[in-house]
Amino acid sequence: MKALLVGDEAFASARYEHENITVVRGSHLGRTQNGVNPGAGRIRIALVAPLADCLASARRLADFVRTHDFG
């Protein structure tokens, strides 16, 4: 997995605004050490809904990334 070309906070906000899917920004869960947060530029997702809903959300996530300049 490569890091996002935009900040993880901007990506997470845009995901919710455009697709109504909540993701957690990676930097929220990472711990900054020596000025580096290993979660920065990444997102976390939880696949806890029924399988069909998770698959639909994954497709929407992929479509969103393809149609926006997030990397």
Q: Which amino acid, one-letter code, is at 8?
A: D
56 pLDDT above the threshold of 90: yes
3-class DSSP state for residue 44? strand
Q: What is the pTM of this model?
A: 0.63
- 8-67 CATH, one of 3.40.50.300, 3.30.1220.10, 3.90.1150.10, 3.40.50.720: 3.90.1150.10
Q: pLDDT tens digit string along 28-47?
A: 888 899 999 988 888 888 88
Residue 7: per-residue pLDDT: 76
Reading phi first (left if > 0) and then psi (alpha if -120 to 50, else beta), residue 40 is in beta
Q: How far apart are the first and last CA of the chain?
A: 11
Going from N- to C-terminal start, the domains of the chain cover 8-67
Percent of the chain residues topping a pLDDT of 90 = 20
Q: Give 43's contacts (C-beta < 8 A, 6+ positions apart).
A: 4, 8, 11, 12, 15, 23, 24, 25, 26
pLDDT bracket for residue 52 (50, 70, 90): very high
